[in-house]
Structure 1
Amino acid sequence: MRKMLMIASAAALLAPAAAYAQDGSSLPLGMEPYIGLMAGYHDFDSDNRGPLTRNCNGASGCVDGAVIEAVGGVNVPVGPVFVGVEGNWARGFSGIDWEYGVYGRFGARAGKSGLIYVKGGRQWIDPDGPGNKDDDWSYGMGVEVGPQDIGLGGLTRASGVRLRLEASTYDFQSIRPTAGIIYHF
């Protein structure tokens, strides 16, 4: 039920933004929608005794694993800073079956096309195999670097493509570094 609610919420949030982006209209309140694809590794603490821990021949934290993640959201500029909302959906390769979440974001512009931000929200994790599903608070921070900030402005012109580097934690019991490409409309 939670998955369906989150998918419906994300679709309701992003569909109008995508429609505005397609016809070239300006978005209300200067909204800046984006989508992206990221990859990383979710590494739980070896001392984790929380609900995601399961019996792995005596090893704790065995839900660790690589993930590939789709993200989508909207930023609203407020002077030199921005606020926004973001949703994610990730598929694990080992240890983690699915992850999905919703976050609030706050940050500042950096350079011509970059962003520095912090985020906080709720993340749901479904371990691979016989583990307990869990949801808890998640926090993170990251940067987005646009082509103009790294000297590629002439190569990519006015492209909305940015490189994102991010680190997040699941209730301070894990570290989840990710990197990927974000496209801003």
Structure 2
Amino acid sequence: MRKLFIVTAAAAAFVAVPAFAQDNGQADSASDGARSSRIEPYVGVTGGWEQFDNERNAGIPQSPNRHDRLNGSLVQGVAGVNLNVVGPLFVGAEGNAAKGVSGDIDWEYGAAGRVGVRAGQNGLFYGKVGYQWVNFDKFGDNSRDYHAMTYGAGVEVGSKSGIRVRGEVNTFGSAHSVRPMAGLVKGF
């Protein structure tokens, strides 16, 4: 699982470096409205899947059946803000809340910081680090929330309307889950 996350992050960095070099510094002339101001709030909806490792000391409960991993599909709302720093560089903060629609996950929620580069006028490549809480349906209504650091990498590709398509991969704890998500984000 950890190898998949490292390969994904390396691929995002590999693609971001040429995009960074191509940016011609026209931060105030973006066609998607995202770069015309220093501060960009955004909201979005994504969907995806998360599967947790079934290992001892992974920070989450271990399933009695060694081959039965806790997993499920999710629908997630995100809200955040990006701050354009210099040229194509940006930093940001984001919060999320996700509801499990099938499988073992009931709710997830968390917050993360983002750092990245803009690719041209309508794209973003970023990494993120934060904290995530997860609650499982499988353990009943009174089950506790499990929590750990979360790490991720993603890409957003936009249009002139300010709507971007997001693809992102996150992990829970020390790479004890894989969580690919995709959806739409609207910058203001």
TM-score, normalised by the number of residues in structure 1:
0.74
Deviation at 1:87, TM superposition (A): 0.2
Q: Which amino acid aligns with 1:114?
A: G
Q: Distance in 1 between matches of 2:135 and 2:67?
A: 16
Q: Distance in 2 between matches of 1:145 and 1:55?
A: 38
1:16-165 to structure 2, matched below 5 A, reads 30-47=38-55, 49-56=57-64, 58-59=65-66, 62-79=69-86, 80-93=88-101, 94-130=103-139, 132-147=144-159, 158-165=160-167
* Secondary structure at the counterpart of residue 129 of structure 1: helix
Task: Tell me, yes or no, if the aligned pair for 2:54 and 2:70 is still in contact at 8 Å.
Answer: no
Structural RMSD (CA):
1.7
Q: Which amino acid aligns with 1:31?
A: I
Task: Tell me, yes or no, if the aligned pair for 1:101 and 1:124 is still in contact at 8 Å.
Answer: yes
Identity in percent = 42
* Secondary structure at the counterpart of residue 77 of structure 2: strand
More moved, 124-133 vs 159-168: 124-133
Task: Tell me, yes or no, if the aligned pair for 2:53 and 2:70 is still in contact at 8 Å.
Answer: no
Q: Which amino acid aligns with 1:70?
A: G
Task: Tell me, yes or no, if the aligned pair for 1:54 and 1:60 is still in contact at 8 Å.
Answer: no
5+ long unaligned stretches in structure 1: 1-28, 148-157
Q: Answer 1 or 2: higher relative contact order, Cα 8 Å, separation at least 6.
A: 2
Q: Which amino acid aligns with 2:176?
A: Q
Task: Tell me, yes or no, if the aligned pair for 2:81 and 2:93 is still in contact at 8 Å.
Answer: yes
Q: Distance in 2 between matches of 1:35 and 1:160?
A: 11
Higher helix share: 1
CA distance 1:74–1:177, change in 2 (3 Å): same
Deviation at 1:61, TM superposition (A): 5.8
Q: Deviations over 1:71-116 (max 9, x none)?
A: 0000000012000000000001221000000000000001221000
Deviation at 1:136, TM superposition (A): 0.5
